Structure 1
């Protein structure tokens, strides 16, 4: 992994963990000094994040985490749901008992995160749950596209939403994860595809990611 990719992954992780907020100004000079590296790989990583629609560039000011409208998020949900459902149907016959055990572990971990109001941690675990089957997809173009789209939500901030509302919504979503796992185990290919596309990624959930 080259230096630019290392910086890219570091910044993505910091955004995902909530260490960078949507109103923070991000400059290459500050990051280069903090990471004790030259500005070139930092600049390249920042512009790559901008190209991936994770950051937006403000000339002579720096970068900020990109914000999306409700319509934007709903449109992305529709596309991600389509891809996620298709990938699930393609990997039904590939997953094994070890994969099911890992997915069950992540479901339990998500309930623990919800109960302890660790919502950033919940997001991290949720991504790992879906990655169990997504990364087994043999269609690499489809794989790269869904990874790119899902990165748009790595900085989701739930602080603006009432705690009881977040908890209620995430419990419902995690019950959906349980149903997804059941369908994988039972190898209900078409039902699984439709469930992920039309239930798990339904547009009314976009409000949680509209920030």
Structure 2
């Protein structure tokens, strides 16, 4: 574990342990199939075993961990089929978000997305490729948030979070980032013209390219 979290006994201790371990998994600090040892985690973050055990169980229920007999909890690897399924759902949800953005907050979305793209291009020009992972997440969150639906935003956030650890691995070169930024620009252009069909196409194409990058560079297929 690369970071240390010292926790005091509070009513929210299980939530704090859960949030910490979840973040470490999503950021790739724990690798696929890596074993999470209850005693070791409790000692490292300064708490008892009970909240750690409860957090590990919650992470299993969420699909991030897998309970293996006589081994314990290990980080659950994502399969090609799961990546394809999540991306298909994302295409549907984010296309719906785009449709609602056109109806509810088009100009706001355009302003915020333009700023996001400008920051991404500036980071790329400076060779800070890894910064794009966060900016990519922010781009899609802006789109979901401007839809005006808290339920859609929650679903979109959860789907993207499951992909985060693999998205980080797939953003490995300036070429990949430049291609992703072009996808963002195509989405922005469709928003500016107000064409809902072109917007849905741009969103789906961008997610499809991201999916192929994850399968190729993160899953090794």
- Provide TM-score, normalisation by structure 1: 0.79
What aligned pairs does 1:41-120 form with structure 2 within 5 A after superposition? 41-95=51-105, 97=107, 99-114=109-124, 116=127, 118-119=129-130
Structure 1 pair 46–177 and aligned structure 2 pair: CA distance change class (3 A) = same
Unpaired runs of at least 5, structure 1: none
Structure-1 residue corresponding to 2:206:
200
Question: 1:158 and 1:148, CA in 2 relative to 1: closer, same or farther beyond 3 A?
Answer: closer
Which segment drifts farther, 86-95 or 97-106? Answer: 97-106
Gaps of 5+ in 2: 1-10
| Candidates 198, 212, 219, aligned match of 1:210 | 219
Change over 3 Å in CA distance of 1:63–1:51 after alignment to 2: same
| Alignment-derived partner of residue 194 in structure 2 | 187
Distance 1:77 1:88 in 2: 16
Shift of 1:196: 0.9
Kindly tell me: are residues 3 and 180 of structure 1, through their superposed partners in 2, closer, same or farther at Cα, counting changes over 3 Å? farther
Query: CA 1:138/1:43 → structure 2, altered by over 3 Å: closer, same or farther?
Result: farther
1:64–1:92 Cα change, 3 Å? farther
Larger radius of gyration: 2
Shift of residue 130, structure 1, vs aligned partner: 0.9
CA distance in structure 2 between the partners assigned to 1:173 and 1:127 by the alignment: 12
Residue of structure 2 in register with 1:32 after alignment = 42
Report how many residues are paired.
206
Q: How far does residue 193 in structure 1 lie from its aligned partner after superposition?
A: 1.9
1:123 to 133, 144, 148: 133
Higher RCO by CA contacts (8 Å cutoff, separation 6 or greater): 1
